[in-house]
Structure 1
Amino acid sequence: MRRNAVKRFSFKVGLLVLFAGFGFAEPEIFKRYGIKVLEERNLGSLRELLIERGGKKMLIYMSEDGRYLLIGALVDAKTGKNLTKERYREINRVDVSKLPLKEALRITFGKGSKKLIMISDPDCPFCRKAHAYLRNKDVDLYVFLFPLDIHPEAHTKSVKILCSEDRVKAYDTALSGGEVKADRCKDGEDRLKKHILVGQIIGVSGTPLFIREDGIRIEGFNLRELENYLGGKR
């Protein structure tokens, strides 16, 4: 079992132990285990709780009497909708108006009819696939660079992209597997710090990450969700 999976399992078991036999009206229990309730919704026979523990947000469901706890996806039996997934989309919605889009690399493909924000790593293989895919769309793309530690050359490449006279062309070269010719510079380092800060504020854990104009996230190169948002080929 992977380390992250073990942590998630331990956390869930800890929650089960925590809530067994306790009602929701015991706030000192939450304090003892470092759990903060951020939001509560009454769903009838269930209560939905948005909790935070160790900086991580999580949805859990509790029976009305506080005795039983459900950790996992809640599905509407009539429609088949994953209600938990939909709630997470709303909870994690990004306020696009607060993003410093003027700092991003702006690339217009086609007519640029749809705005899309992309968090990208120049050495990320799925970022490269996404870039090739977006070429055939009508999209106004705003790119923030977020080099991941697992790609040791990505930081240097990102700085060189931001040091280039034509940053959009340099980004396209990097995502196409070419070499960016520019030298590293202080301005590029400073620009990259701003890009990385955007990713940290959003809570990026992997690339690519897309943000629609309405603030809804698309995690990874999710072709179906991108198609639903951007439409077919131009």
Structure 2
Amino acid sequence: MRKFLSIGLLLAVSLFANDRVLNQTEALKILKATPIYNQVAPKLKKGLKVKGQDKGDFYLITVYDKRGAGNIFITKNLKYTILGNILNNQTKQIIHPTYPAKPFTGNKQTVKNGVVFTMGHGKKDLYIVTDPQCPFCQKAEKLAEKAHLSDKYTIHVIFMPLSFHKHSKAMIYYILSAKTNQEKAKRFKETLDGGNAWSKFKTTTKEKENINKIISKAEKAATELGARGTPSFYDKNMNEIKNRGSIFK
């Protein structure tokens, strides 16, 4: 699941672009019309940021910090606030913000060091920041299977277990206890598909210590990439792929 702020807002997934971007001042002015503003305002001095988009029929405001992000939909007349997902009835897709992606300027070696395993045999490199307990990641796995993603990409997996997913670490212990990339990929897919073998798997204290070191490197890689939630996708140059639909074609 994508990371949440304390106000518990969903960051959704979609395929839209080319909407006018609002700066923080504009976004805050719109946000002041909602009950959410009183929760957001005290956090602005603690690193919380706000931006938004004019989607034509409504405003989409995003609040985010290092821990995650959340979306708020506000009607143009500022009378109604919508929390959760909005579907485009024509495309059947969930609407999400399409802010311009910033070129990656971080340490590529830190990212590579955080790859927990690699799967697929495609010509293109794809980096994925993911959490095996994440329902959005589970949906992405179904799309990936349907699109034969492993035939198109060499996929480098980076785990970012979210704190509110209480089984995530146990799932990762099960996955990373496998000896080969092939077996890790198999356990990963099995877990995303709802398998519960992880719940019966016993990990020694030493194994947990070793895997925790791997997880720590993965979390540093996710931070280096600027990942605010799961799943997040990055190209061979480690630039975030905003148009998720282009991956699953």
TM > 0.5: yes
| Change in CA separation of 1:131 and 1:94 when aligned onto 2, cut-off 3 Å | farther
Residue type of the alignment partner of 2:101: R
Higher relative contact order (CA 8 A, sep 6+): 2
State percent identity of aligned pairs: 18
CA contact (8 A) 1:107 1:142 kept: yes
1:226 corresponds to 2:226: no
Q: Deviations over 1:17-42 (max 9, x none)?
A: xxxxxxxxxxxxxxxxxxxxxxxxxx
CA contact (8 A) 1:121 1:146 kept: yes
Residue type of the alignment partner of 1:202: L
Determine helix, strand or coil for the equivalent of 1:142.
strand
1:168 corresponds to 2:180: no
Q: How far is the alpha carbon of 1:120 from its aligned partner?
A: 0.7
Aligned length, in residue pairs: 165
Q: Which runs of 4+ in 1 moved over 3 A?
A: 2-5, 8-11, 52-59, 71-75, 93-96, 105-108
1:183 corresponds to 2:203: yes
Q: How far is the alpha carbon of 1:73 from its aligned partner?
A: 5.4
Q: Deviations over 1:177-227 (max 9, x none)?
A: 2223352522111111111222233333321111122333236xxxxx234
Q: 2:162 aligns with which of 133, 143, 148?
A: 148
1:133 corresponds to 2:133: no
Q: Deviations over 1:48-90 (max 9, x none)?
A: xxxx97445677xxxxxxxxxxx75599xxxxxxxx955x412
Q: 2:222 aligns with which of 199, 204, 214?
A: 199
CA contact (8 A) 2:138 2:192 kept: yes
Rg comparison, structure with higher value? 1
Over aligned residue pairs, what C-alpha RMSD do you find?
3.8
Tell me the distance in 2 between the aligned counterparts of 1:54 and 1:4: 18
Q: How far is the alpha carbon of 1:147 from its aligned partner?
A: 1.2
CA contact (8 A) 2:144 2:248 kept: no
| Change in CA separation of 1:187 and 1:144 when aligned onto 2, cut-off 3 Å | same
